[in-house]
Chain A
Amino acid sequence: MALSTEDIKKIAHLARIEVSDSDANATLSKLTGILGLIEQMQAVNTDGIVPMSHSQDVVQRLRDDVVTKTNQREAFQKISPAVGNGSDARAVDGGLYLVPKVIE
């Protein structure tokens, strides 16, 4: 599968990573190398083999449905990143974490 720098830009955007044009070319060749490796692996016959979803062959342990967490809002909000539009650097308001306005 051949990737283009357009693909690189798109993948970077989806991950919210800024990639310059020169970096995009370097990333393109690295990713193409990785895809080549995958292609090589895909040539192996895997008929009848259940796809592996985890590297360890064990199953999920379950937790009892009991409240174990206490309210630590104050501690968490003390280290909450200061965000804002420059004039307002408050990170929290009325217990809410503040972020730049998002409205669809």
Chain B
Amino acid sequence: MEWEVVIGLETHTQLRTNTKIFSGASTTYGAEPNTQACEVSIALPGVLPVLNKEAVNCAIKFGLAVNAEIAPRSVFARKNYFYPDLPKGYQISQYELPVVGKGAVTIQVPAVGKNAAYEKVINITRAHLEEDAGKSVHGAVEGMSGIDLNRAGTPLLEIVTEPDMRSAAEAVAYAKKLHELVQWIGICDGNMQEGSFRCDVNVSVRPKGTEKLGTRREIKNLNSFKFMQQAIEYETRWQIETLEDGGTIQQATVLFNPDTGETRAMRSKEEANDYRYFPDPDLLPLEITEADKTRVQAQMPELPEAMKLRFETQFGLTSYDAASLTASRELAQYFVETVDAGAEAKPAANWVMGAISAKLNAEEKSLAESPVSSVSLASLLKRIADNTISNNAAKQVFEAMWNGEGEVDAIIDAKGLKQVSDTGAIEAIIDEVLAANAAMVEEFKAGKEKAFNALVGQAMKASKGKANPAQVNEVLKKKLGA
């Protein structure tokens, strides 16, 4: 039987605020344990939550970015469960009336093997504000767990999708898209190592062509795209094999073990999911007016989708190139700066996506750490455009710039890479080449086209690669009467 996997994601994004969602305690990562855990964070009796305006702004920004309904009135609720890293005994979240309603994002799923790349719309069900829990540290003291409540109360936006994804590749493409989007609009730092962006993935399988959803298992807390891919692939295989062996799937929460590449069900008590939500009487309904939305809209950067279309029309880039350049705000910014500094758009796009990206990937650097600035890249591209250097020489110059050997013109001089575009000089070289390679000339005259390329090669070699190849072609054609 052919099976279809159905995937939905719940993503916890830590919002980039200075303070916690319900108190004025700092949210800076990496502080000494409990030094940022105020009386609200540790839930001393009698404390009251006061909602952070910036956390609400972040939620509005996200709602605007995914074209969602933003609730004019939303309500905070208590989600009740007991765990030592949750000192109140409940998490303040939103349940029936979340701040952000239905929206959508468009993802680009990359080509795999013979399957071509494609676009797909993933529907967002909702996004709601809530507080993060603290952290448990095991093993410091025998028989005890240590609790650090610095993270308790950090604002989160939990973003929930419809079960719209049909492969691990689509799920990863969505997660990457969302990861870029929340950074693009500045609501999350996207740091996955520090847990700023964590995904729970719901996976179920069903016979292809059927409508009814299978029983799902939820893979918790994936904080890398690679693990997400592996976890979904393993989980999908496991569910299919279980069903084909005549078994049934029990709804469960599972964890992914990166060492074994397997998913494993957590020990779960039957009542674990009975959270008994109810409206939090400590918090009044959150009202968001049209004026609030207009104010936040004014602070929004141009969104990736809009920028992509602009790149296509303004610079004549292909849809693919425009999409690649707007994959991150950093990259798009770098490209725009390169063009603003005088480079032509198409070569700039090629170099940014080609040489620059390849180097950054190889050295695992971010664009901010690039030794070649956008302005330097532009000056290199200008030297190609004005025929000072050839494309090949430009690669050498780029390599030298990357290694910190100086600015473009200095490197061209130091390495003697200046292209020879003087027709007289080129004619002299070609005359020598023709004299020295009479046999090739004969072959060409006898109709062997290949000989022409060989002669170009000889001329380039004779000029030590400095001759302008276009001119060599032209002069050679003229001399041979071709």
Contact = CB atoms under 8 A, between A and B. Distances in A.
B35 A95 contact: yes
B267 A101 contact: no
B336 interface: no
B34 interface: yes
A104 B269 CA distance: 11
A64 B54 CA distance: 7
B145 A64 contact: no
B55 to A, nearest CB: 8
Contacts of A96: 33-34, 137, 140, 146-148
Nearest to B269: A13
Interface stretch (B23-31, B338-346, B440-448): B23-31
B145 A95 contact: no
Contact of B23 (A15, A16, A69, A102): A69
A93 B145 CA distance: 10
A43 interface: no
Contacts of B26: 67, 69
A56 to B, nearest CB: 7
A59 B138 contact: no
B307 interface: no
Given A65-B19, A73-B35, A100-B144, A13 B284 contact: no
B104 interface: no
Given A56-B284, A59-B284, A97 B147 contact: yes
Interface string B146-184: 111100000000000000000000000000000000000
A92 to B, nearest CB: 8
Nearest to A97: B147
Contact of A54 (B40, B80, B279): B279
B455 interface: no
A98 B24 contact: no
Given A63-B51, A76-B42, A101 B145 contact: yes
Interface in A1-44: 10, 13-16
A54 B285 contact: yes
A88 B19 contact: no
Given A65-B19, A67-B24, A96-B140, A59 B80 contact: no
A95 B84 CA distance: 15
B38 interface: yes
Given A69-B25, A96-B146, A101-B143, 12 more contacts: A54-B279, A60-B51, A60-B285, A65-B55, A66-B24, A69-B23, A84-B144, A93-B140, A94-B33, A96-B148, A97-B34, A100-B143
12 contacts: A53-B285, A60-B286, A62-B56, A65-B19, A69-B26, A73-B34, A85-B144, A88-B142, A95-B32, A101-B143, A102-B145, A104-B267
Interface of B: 17-19, 23-26, 32-40, 42, 44, 50-56, 73, 75, 80, 82-84, 97, 136-138, 140-149, 266-267, 271, 274, 276, 279, 281, 283-287
Closest 7 CB pairs of A and B: A96-B146, A68-B24, A65-B54, A95-B33, A62-B53, A69-B38, A59-B287
